[in-house]
Amino acid sequence: MEYIDQTGSTNADLIESAPHRLDRSVLVTDHQTAGRGRLDRRWDAPPGANLLVSVLFHEVPAEAGELVRRLSLAAVDAVRLTVPGAGTVGLKWPNDILLEDGKLAGVLAQRSAEGAVVVGIGVNVGWCPQDGAKLGDGIDRPSVLAALLTAYDALPRSPDDLIIRYRDELSTLGQRVRVQMPSGDVVGDAADVTQSGQLRVRDDDGKTHQIAAADVIHLRPA
């Protein structure tokens, strides 16, 4: 594990230096000046406020999305362990960790030219954007990171067992959702995730859509 005071993006750093680093190298920083989020968005936080960390994987499972699910589940476990009174923690498909209904953390996976995968997570510890959620000011970020890495190692090894755990934590399931895709929105009930992590949504005509990548909004009943 390496710590740096400040960088552009821990994901970008690990992608660039992947050939020279060991499997499961971890890079953590206090401040990113060009933090990356999903769908080409930025991921910003004031210096020293949040947990910003990336993990490099040279050993990539057949379905690389499994690494995102692993880090997300580890984050859920770490929050429950380190901040037991924080509130209800769960997952929102595809890559968010929720605290109550607010976004507590986001996960971003990127592939290097050589085929390695870097999975980064930003956890709102001392700061969150409007409508987001955070753990709180007195929370020790290194303790959250240590719990995250320990929880990662304690996850079920088998992909079949992992997806069962993932379904259990996925608060999207059973919700009325709007799925936003370039081809148009789908509104319906989130019914299941497939073995490879695709979301199944049943629309009001009874048609099932299997979605690999999109933004999802949890809709409240009117």
125 vs 188, beta carbon nearer ligand BTN: 125
Q: In what order do the strands lie in the sheet with 176-180?
A: 208-211, 199-203, 186-193, 176-180, 215-219
Please tell me whether residue 57 adopts helix, strand or coil conformation. strand
43 vs 166, beta carbon nearer ligand BTN: 43
3 vs 161, beta carbon nearer ligand BTN: 3
Q: What are phi and psi of 79, to 5 degrees?
A: -65, -45
Total binding residues for ligand BTN by CB under 6 A?
20
Distance CA 121, CA 138 (A): 20
41 vs 207, beta carbon nearer ligand BTN: 41
Residue of 98, 108, 135, 177 that binds ligand BTN (CB under 6 A): 108
Tokens of 74: 């580890």
Q: Is 197 in the site for ligand BTN (CB under 6 A)?
A: no
Distance CA 175, CA 57 (A): 33
Tokens of 29: 């920083």
CB of 171 to ligand BTN, least distance (A): 16
The answer to whether the CB of 37 falls within 8 A of the CB of 13 is no
The footprint of ligand BTN on residues 23-62 (CB under 6 A) is 32, 35-38, 41, 43, 52-54
Which residues in this chain contact ligand BTN in the complex, by CB under 6 A? 9-11, 32, 35-38, 41, 43, 52-54, 95, 106-108, 120-122
